[in-house]
Amino acid sequence: MSKKADKGEGNKGKDKKKGKGAGDGSGVPSVAAHPRASYQVRRAKGWGGLIGFGAAAYLSYKAGVPMSDLGVRALVAGIVGYMLAWACAVTVWRQLVLAELRAAIERGKTPNPDLIPARAAGNNNPTTSNAGASPEGAPAS
C-alpha cells in the first residue's frame, strides 16, 4: 500500500479544520469574528502600510538617498507601518469588543433598585423628576 492511502484511511472522521477563525463556534469573543472590527483592522493595516511607505519614500528622497536604497527603505517602512497599525487596531478593538459584550450583558439585566435608589418603585427621592408633586396627586402648595 502507498503512503497516501495510509494517511487517507487514518483521517476518517477528522475532516474538520483545526485552528481559530470566525466559524469555529467556540463561543470566545474575537476580533476576527466581529464584522466591524475585522473591517476596521483591515483598513488600518492598509493605511498604516501606505503612510509608512509614503513617509519613508518622501523623507529618503528629500535626503538625497539613491533610488534603489529609497525603494528598500520605503518597503521596509511600509511593512513596519502595516504591522504597527495592525497591532494598534487589534489592541483597540479587543477592548471595544469586550466593552460591547459587557454592555449587552448589562442591557439584558433589570436594574437593581438597591443600587440605583432613584429607580426604585414608590421612592419619594427629591432628585427625581416629580420632586415638586405631592404624593397623593393633590396640588402642591
Positions of E strands within the chain = none
Residues across the chain: 141
Cell of 122: 414608590
Q: What is the mean pLDDT of each run of 10 residues along the chain (141 residues)?
A: 54 51 65 88 96 97 95 97 96 92 82 60 56 55 54
Q: What is the DSSP letter of 8?
A: H
Whole-angstrom Cα distance, residue 59 to residue 64? 9
Cell of 80: 513596519
pLDDT of residue 113: 63
Give me the DSSP letters along 4-63: HHHHHHHTTT--SPPS--TTS------TTT-HHHHHHHHHHHHHHHHHHHHHHHHHHHHT
Cell of 102: 459587557
Residue 95 CA to its chain's centroid (Å):
6
pTM metric for this prediction: 0.58
CA torsion sign, 91 to 97 to 103 to 106? negative
Domain boundaries, the chain: 31-110
Whole-angstrom Cα distance, residue 134 to residue 125? 12
pLDDT of residue 43: 95
**Residue 140: CB partners within 8 Å, gap ≥ 6?**
132, 133, 134
